[in-house]
């Protein structure tokens, strides 16, 4: 029986679940090695200061301590954490040393590494290290950063890393003649990905073979191998990065962090395996932060609701250093502020400002979550000003199907043209309105029911995916007639093994149980790999697998033709199991496997896919407590082609709940001295099972991507991107009678309560009733 195209598109239960549900997953901290040492890292408790002295003598002498490493042991200058994405020469001077050299610039920065016989002894030793740091004034936010009164890098003379500028058309002219302009200042707070599994690394140095093996890699193992090999003066072939099960990534995990150098260095120094497992406090201090931005933005429109232009200045607090992918979020804020809308004239500047806080990097929907909040908030304010229907206003300005591909703003200094690829943005908006029952729900707007004001909102988004340049895959016909699949993509908990087995089975025309395994991530599997970021795995890795399958089938035909004495083109492969020649003679493919039949395939890409859609929310707000209850939430997205609708649906819901955390709860707070105040999960609140029970997602596949053979668009971030804007607009809609306009995230109870109180004071004597009186039962 031929099994063509029967797995792609099916809601297949995941293969990974069989081990995870039994507690048989293998995460990096589950690994143990004979003679293994445990690492602990002394971290700066001072946000900004000059290092006077580090005395590790007592710690070194503690029984059970086998190694103690400070910056001077690493060799000066200390290696820097590289920029992986969007590197520019301007970033180099703000690079992070893997261990603080002369200054500390954020709480959590590494000062010393201890290697000991157990994690407990390593931590005991940390307590014995004496550190003397001369404190300097801490730069707490991008406003004080911009004054340059206290400089993180004195030699640079500025705290401003760079200013990006996204432009399209002629914004100055558009604003000059515009009949209506509104200006707003909007803010998003600092939050983070917070994968549930803390990071970990296990490094092993084989002195005899000169080989370094690093387990615990994730996301971008090939890049990290390149980086580590270079910094350690080893050939790339002498370094192997191993991917284990990974407990969530969301953009933050797997980048090259300081520990990615320090732990292998410890292993090479001691000649013993070294394991490090991050604790939660370390994660909150050290894993990339994200999202903190302040936007002064202006929108120009005609009075009947055609958007003419968007311009503004954004300041992004990038923390203490530029590292790995820290430029992506700020870049996206600038380039994607127009989202799926037709905005002919754009001029957005985004300044990257250093502060004495944890460096930033990407977190699911980087920059897009922030910029969608800015844009969608602004659209609802404009609609209210101009007395336009919010939905009609959006319909009027959404890019139409026939306008695609649609060029969006160009960003400098990168200067790469970018266009929205394909789809029907109006269709997802209409579907979203239908799903939530907009016509009925809209009647609830501003109504006070049982002491809570009800509000609804809808917003539209785009999600970029499929970053190039390349992905590689290899397929092998095994002696038992099964197939093994090797791919350069990485699994970070998103269900890649199942989706890829589905693609491989369809490509090879076999049933899924004939796919012996999908081996991913580790650097030994394919010659070159790029990993998992920018919603790229299915498009890039999946398309590479199609190419590998085609090449393998060609190899099989050639090998079978030699045996059956015919031309390869005359061979038919039946059920991935048998080769049949022109005269009906056949042979079992397993008998060819001895010839070690395997083939690589690659997919190269320079364009991006754009999944798109709309979110709608119905909330109720308690004006006395400031609490936002989510009554209903709908996500509609079109991702071109869903490989596994079950897991994609799970991605949409899970992303939305992360977004709700960012919209309502999550905030990494610092005090004036740069101390992180939210250093535990009791302080940094993320959603729990009882917070947001009502969320629905509809995944459509009406408009396949024209730029890859699967027709798929990168997906998995669309669920988070629109949440901040939609929730804030729903709250504004609920509290419209009070004139409350949220201008920042998160919408914590205290912030909403303050807005309500301000409106009470503002409205006193204006004839508007105090909601505190009205809300009483």
Partner 1 sequence: MSIKFEVNGKAVAVEVEPRLTLADCLRHELHLTGTHVGCEHGVCGACTVLVDGAAVRSCLMLAVQAEGAKVVTVEGLSNDADLTPLQKSFRKHHALQCGFCTPGMITTAHALLSEEPDCDAARVRAVLSGNLCRCTGYISIVAAVLDARAAYRHKNPA
Contact residue for partner 1 among 144, 598, 647, 729 (CB under 8 A): 647
* 146 versus 686: smaller Cβ distance to partner 1: 686
618 binds partner 1 (CB under 8 A): no
* 394 versus 649: smaller Cβ distance to partner 1: 649
Q: Which of residues 173-212 bind partner 1 (CB under 8 A)?
A: 193-198
Please report, to the nearest 10 degrees, the dihedral formed by the alpha carbons of residues 638, 640, 642, 647 taken in order: -40
Cα gap 603→551, rounded to integer Å: 13
Binding segment toward partner 1, per CB under 8 A, in 74-82, 412-420, 493-501, 620-628: 493-501
Binding segment toward partner 1, per CB under 8 A, in 55-63, 373-381, 424-432, 489-497: 489-497
Output phi, psi for 617, to 5 deg: -135, 150
In 424-512, DSSP assigns E strands to 448-449, 452-465, 470-477, 483-487
* 248 versus 468: smaller Cβ distance to partner 1: 248
* 197 versus 741: smaller Cβ distance to partner 1: 197
656 binds partner 1 (CB under 8 A): yes
Cα gap 440→442, rounded to integer Å: 6
601 binds partner 1 (CB under 8 A): no
Binding segment toward partner 1, per CB under 8 A, in 48-56, 567-575, 685-693, 766-774: 685-693
Q: How many CB atoms lie within 10 A of CB 375?
A: 27
Contact residue for partner 1 among 680, 767, 773, 776 (CB under 8 A): 680
365 binds partner 1 (CB under 8 A): no
* 88 versus 686: smaller Cβ distance to partner 1: 686
9 binds partner 1 (CB under 8 A): no
14 binds partner 1 (CB under 8 A): yes
Cα–chain center distance at 226: 22
134 binds partner 1 (CB under 8 A): no
677 binds partner 1 (CB under 8 A): no
* Residue 349 buriedness (CB in 10 A; 0-12 / 13-18 / 19+): middle
Residues in a beta bridge with 181:
300
Closest CA to 93 of 22, 160, 8: 160
> Rounded to the nearest whole angstrom, what is the least distance from the CB of residue 115 to partner 1 in the complex?
17
Q: Which of residues 30-59 bind partner 1 (CB under 8 A)?
A: 30, 32
Binding segment toward partner 1, per CB under 8 A, in 12-20, 100-108, 228-236, 553-561: 12-20
* Spatial CB neighbours of 552, under 8 Å, sequence gap ≥ 6: 475, 476, 477, 483, 508, 597, 598, 599
Question: What secondary structure letter does DSSP report for 437?
Answer: T
> Rounded to the nearest whole angstrom, what is the least distance from the CB of residue 627 to partner 1 in the complex?
16
> Rounded to the nearest whole angstrom, what is the least distance from the CB of residue 692 to partner 1 in the complex?
7
366 binds partner 1 (CB under 8 A): no
Q: Which of residues 110-129 bind partner 1 (CB under 8 A)?
A: 120
590 binds partner 1 (CB under 8 A): no
Cα gap 275→33, rounded to integer Å: 9
> Rounded to the nearest whole angstrom, what is the least distance from the CB of residue 143 to partner 1 in the complex?
31
Binding segment toward partner 1, per CB under 8 A, in 177-185, 352-360, 550-558, 680-688: 680-688
Please report, to the nearest 10 degrees, the dihedral formed by the alpha carbons of residues 723, 725, 727, 729 taken in order: -160
Cα gap 237→124, rounded to integer Å: 37
Contact criterion met (CB below 8 Å) for 688 and 682: no
> Rounded to the nearest whole angstrom, what is the least distance from the CB of residue 64 to partner 1 in the complex?
12
Contact residue for partner 1 among 80, 190, 441, 649 (CB under 8 A): 649
Contact residue for partner 1 among 1, 22, 157, 416 (CB under 8 A): 22
> Rounded to the nearest whole angstrom, what is the least distance from the CB of residue 658 to partner 1 in the complex?
7
495 binds partner 1 (CB under 8 A): yes
Binding segment toward partner 1, per CB under 8 A, in 25-33, 125-133, 136-144, 179-187: 25-33
> Rounded to the nearest whole angstrom, what is the least distance from the CB of residue 689 to partner 1 in the complex?
4
* 246 versus 728: smaller Cβ distance to partner 1: 246
Contact residue for partner 1 among 164, 321, 525, 692 (CB under 8 A): 692
> Rounded to the nearest whole angstrom, what is the least distance from the CB of residue 271 to partner 1 in the complex?
22
Type and span of the H or E element at 543: helix 543-564
Cα gap 497→570, rounded to integer Å: 33
Q: Binders of partner 1: how many residues, by CB under 8 A?
A: 58
16 binds partner 1 (CB under 8 A): yes
* Spatial CB neighbours of 155, under 8 Å, sequence gap ≥ 6: 93
> Rounded to the nearest whole angstrom, what is the least distance from the CB of residue 534 to partner 1 in the complex?
19
Max alpha carbon distance in the chain (Å)?
98
375 binds partner 1 (CB under 8 A): no
Q: Which of residues 241-270 bind partner 1 (CB under 8 A)?
A: 245-248, 250
* 29 versus 421: smaller Cβ distance to partner 1: 29
Cα gap 588→482, rounded to integer Å: 12
Residue 266 CA neighbour count, 13 Å, CB half: 32
C-alpha distances out from residue 108 to 94, 102, 213, 281, 674, Å? 17, 15, 26, 9, 11
361 binds partner 1 (CB under 8 A): no
Contact residue for partner 1 among 4, 21, 127, 604 (CB under 8 A): 21
Cα gap 385→90, rounded to integer Å: 42
Contact residue for partner 1 among 2, 4, 5, 24 (CB under 8 A): 24
Locate 650 and state its tokens: 């799970």
C-alpha distances out from residue 424 to 170, 395, 610, 636, Å? 27, 12, 11, 12
Contact criterion met (CB below 8 Å) for 251 and 364: yes
* 22 versus 416: smaller Cβ distance to partner 1: 22
Count of residues for the chain? 777
3-state SS assignment for residue 334: helix
Contact residue for partner 1 among 9, 25, 344, 739 (CB under 8 A): 25
* Spatial CB neighbours of 627, under 8 Å, sequence gap ≥ 6: 621, 749, 752
> Rounded to the nearest whole angstrom, what is the least distance from the CB of residue 625 to partner 1 in the complex?
19
Q: Which of residues 695-714 bind partner 1 (CB under 8 A)?
A: 695
Residues in a beta bridge with 617:
457, 633
567 binds partner 1 (CB under 8 A): no
* Spatial CB neighbours of 661, under 8 Å, sequence gap ≥ 6: 191, 685, 686, 687
Question: What secondary structure letter does DSSP report for 142?
Answer: H
* 269 versus 512: smaller Cβ distance to partner 1: 512
Binding segment toward partner 1, per CB under 8 A, in 64-72, 537-545, 653-661, 740-748: 653-661
3-state SS assignment for residue 424: coil
521 binds partner 1 (CB under 8 A): no
> Rounded to the nearest whole angstrom, what is the least distance from the CB of residue 6 to partner 1 in the complex?
20
Residue 644 CA neighbour count, 13 Å, CB half: 23
- For helices 543-564 and 496-508, give the axis angle rounded to 10 degrees: 40
682 binds partner 1 (CB under 8 A): yes
Cα gap 617→635, rounded to integer Å: 9
Q: Which of residues 52-111 bind partner 1 (CB under 8 A)?
A: none
Q: Which residues bind partner 1 (CB under 8 A)?
A: 13-14, 16-27, 29-30, 32, 120, 193-198, 245-248, 250, 279-280, 492-495, 646-647, 649-651, 653-658, 680-682, 686-693, 695
């Amino acid at each position: 029986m031929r099994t063509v195209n029967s797995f792609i598109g099916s809601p297949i239960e995941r293969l990974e679940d069989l081990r995870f549900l039994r507690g048989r997953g293998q995460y990096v901290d589950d690994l143990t090695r004979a003679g293994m040492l445990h690492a602990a890292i002394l971290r700066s408790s001072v946000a900004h200061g000059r290092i006077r002295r580090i005395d590790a003598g007592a710690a070194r002498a503690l029984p059970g301590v086998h190694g103690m490493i400070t910056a001077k042991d690493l060799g000066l200058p200390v290696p820097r954490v590289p920029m992986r994405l969007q590197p520019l020469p301007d970033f180099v001077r703000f690079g992070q040393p893997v261990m603080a050299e002369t200054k500390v610039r954020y709480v959590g920065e590494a000062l010393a590494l201890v290697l000991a016989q157990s994690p407990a002894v390593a931590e005991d030793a940390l307590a014995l290290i004496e550190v003397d740091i001369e404190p300097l004034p801490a730069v707490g936010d991008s406003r004080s950063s911009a004054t340059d009164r206290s400089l993180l890098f004195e030699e640079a003379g500025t705290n401003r890393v760079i200013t990006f500028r996204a432009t399209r058309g002629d914004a100055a002219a558009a604003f000059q003649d515009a009949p209506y302009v509104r200006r707003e200042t909007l803010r998003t707070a600092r939050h983070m990905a917070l994968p549930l599994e803390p990071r970990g690394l296990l490094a092993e140095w084989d002195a005899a073979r000169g080989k370094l093996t690093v387990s615990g890699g994730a996301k971008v193992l090939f890049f990290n191998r390149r980086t580590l090999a270079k910094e350690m003066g080893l050939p790339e072939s002498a370094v192997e990065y191993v991917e284990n099960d990974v407990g969530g990534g969301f953009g933050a995990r797997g980048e090259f962090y300081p520990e990615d150098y320090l732990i292998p260095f410890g292993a090479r120094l001691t000649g013993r395996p070294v394991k490090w497992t991050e604790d939660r406090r370390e994660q909150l201090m050290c894993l990339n932060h994200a999202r903190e931005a302040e936007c002064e933005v202006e929108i120009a429109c005609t009075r009947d609701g055609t958007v003419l232009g968007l311009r503004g200045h954004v300041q992004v607090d990038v923390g203490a250093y530029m590292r790995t992918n820290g430029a992506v979020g700020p870049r996206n804020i600038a380039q994607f502020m127009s989202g799926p809308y037709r905005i002919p004239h754009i001029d957005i500047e985004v300044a990257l400002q250093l502060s004495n806080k944890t460096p930033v990097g990407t977190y699911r929907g980087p920059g897009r979550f922030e910029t969608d909040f800015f844009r969608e908030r602004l659209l609802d304010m404009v609609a209210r000003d101009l007395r336009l229907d919010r939905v009609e206003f959006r319909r009027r300005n959404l890019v139409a199907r026939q306008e695609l591909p649609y060029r969006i703003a160009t960003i400098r200094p990168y200067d790469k043209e970018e266009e929205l690829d394909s789809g029907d943005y109006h269709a997802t908006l209409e579907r979203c309105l239908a799903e939530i029952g907009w016509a009925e729900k809209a009647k609830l707007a501003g109504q006070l029911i049982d002491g809570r004001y009800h509000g609804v909102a809808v917003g539209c988004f785009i999600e970029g995916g499929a970053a190039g340049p390349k992905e590689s895959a290899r397929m092998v016909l095994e002696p038992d007639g099964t197939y093994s699949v090797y791919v350069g993509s990485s699994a970070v908990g998103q269900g890649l093994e199942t989706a890829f087995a589905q693609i491989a089975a369809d490509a090879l025309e076999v049933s899924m149980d004939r796919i012996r395994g999908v081996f991913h991530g580790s650097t030994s599997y394919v010659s070159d790999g790029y990993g998992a970021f920018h919603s790229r795995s299915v498009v890039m890795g999946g398309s590479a697998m199609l190419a590998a399958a085609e090449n393998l089938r060609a190899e099989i035909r050639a090998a079978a033709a030699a045996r059956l004495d015919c031309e390869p083109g005359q061979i038919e492969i039946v059920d991935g199991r048998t080769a049949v020649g022109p005269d009906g003679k056949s042979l079992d493919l397993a008998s060819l496997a001895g010839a070690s039949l395997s083939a690589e395939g690659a997919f190269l890409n320079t364009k991006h896919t754009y999944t798109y859609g709309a979110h709608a929310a119905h909330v109720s707000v308690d004006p006395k407590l400031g609490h936002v209850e989510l009554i209903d939430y709908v996500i509609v997205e079109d991702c071109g082609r869903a490989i596994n609708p079950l897991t994609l649906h799970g991605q949409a819901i899970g992303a939305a709940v992360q977004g709700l955390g960012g919209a309502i709860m999550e905030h990494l707070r610092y005090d004036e001295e740069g101390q992180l105040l939210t250093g535990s999960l009791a302080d940094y609140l993320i959603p729990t099972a009882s917070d947001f029970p009502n969320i629905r997602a509809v995944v459509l596949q009406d408009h396949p991507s024209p730029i890859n053979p699967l027709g798929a668009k990168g997906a998995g971030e669309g669920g988070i991107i629109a949440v901040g804007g939609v929730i804030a607009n729903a709250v504004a809609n609920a509290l419209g009678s009070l004139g409350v306009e949220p201008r920042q995230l998160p919408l914590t109870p205290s912030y909403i309560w303050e807005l309500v109180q301000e409106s009470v004071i503002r409205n006193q004597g204006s004839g508007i009733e105090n909601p505190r009186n009205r809300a009483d039962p």
